[in-house]
């Protein structure tokens, strides 16, 4: 596989990133709706329309700046509003709503992996179609697995933090929830300091290795 320059890399990242973020947020809203809270649906957030989920800073400015300055893609979307008091079983259901986002990212990674395989089969017949499909599929696998792993870090407001908060005894849950305003700052510090990468990359690599097209993902992105 040929190495990509930054413009080519950005071109194959755009669609996988938009889909990864959009479907992730829509999954939170859809599961919450199924479990009794219609807040996200009433606000138009149970949709695949990316404009409903884009945060101008977190989805556009921060990812663009981090990509061109460091080569590392980082960002976030507008959180889907959930009212836990509308859920059938608030503590259990909040954990299920949180798990919906990473769960759908794993499913999308599988689909992108299958597209890599389809692209490889098309290579002899139509390389102009096959090559973008393979590269975009590899980006889709890596982005979705990374987003899944990152969101499962047990820090609020990440999904892993939501799950941990639901599992903790009520008194500990109360104290843990008070740390939420500092969660994103702490996450940024962990990323910038390089302390988070040694923890995330083995997990990402291990999960990618179980998916279709894993060898192609490793060859393209050299990890």
- Tell me the pLDDT tens digit for each residue of 186-215: 988 888 788 888 888 899 999 999 999 999
CA distance 139 to 132: 10
- Pull the structure tokens for residue 72: 């590392």
More confident residue, 3 or 174: 174
46 falls in which pLDDT band (50, 70, 90)?
very high
Mean pLDDT estimate for the chain: 88
Q: For residue 1, is it within any domain? A: no
pLDDT of residue 70: 58
**Which residues span the domain enclosing 169?**
6-221
Sign of CA dihedral 206, 140, 100, 195: positive
175 falls in which pLDDT band (50, 70, 90)?
very high
CB 101 within 8 A of CB 28: yes
Domains identified in the chain, total number: 1
| Straight-line distance from the first to the last Cα atom of the chain, in angstroms, rounded to the nearest whole number | 14
Q: For residue 11, is it within any domain? A: yes
Q: For residue 125, is it within any domain? A: yes
Q: Is residue 176 over pLDDT 70?
A: yes
């Amino acid at each position: 596989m040929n190495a990509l320059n930054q413009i080519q890399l950005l071109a194959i990242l755009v669609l996988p990133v938009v889909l990864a973020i959009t479907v992730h947020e829509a999954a939170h809203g859809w599961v919450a709706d199924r479990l009794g809270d219609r807040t996200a649906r009433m606000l138009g957030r149970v949709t695949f329309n990316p404009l409903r989920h884009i945060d101008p800073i977190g989805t556009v400015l921060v990812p663009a700046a981090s990509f061109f300055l460091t080569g590392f893609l980082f960002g976030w979307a507008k959180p889907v509003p959930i009212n836990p008091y509308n859920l059938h079983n608030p503590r259990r259901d909040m954990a299920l709503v949180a798990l919906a986002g990473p769960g759908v990212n794993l499913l999308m990674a599988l689909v992108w992996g299958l597209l890599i395989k389809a692209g490889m089969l098309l290579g002899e017949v139509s390389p102009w179609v096959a090559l973008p499909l393979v590269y975009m599929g590899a980006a889709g696998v890596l982005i979705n697995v990374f987003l899944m792993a990152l969101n499962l870090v047990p820090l609020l407001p990440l999904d892993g933090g939501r799950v941990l908060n639901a599992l903790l005894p009520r008194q500990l849950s109360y104290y843990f929830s008070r740390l939420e305003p500092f969660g994103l700052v702490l996450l940024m510090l962990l990323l910038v300091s390089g302390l988070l990468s040694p923890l995330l990359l083995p997990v990402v690599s291990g999960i990618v290795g179980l998916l279709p097209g894993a060898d192609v993902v490793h060859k393209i992105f050299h990890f």
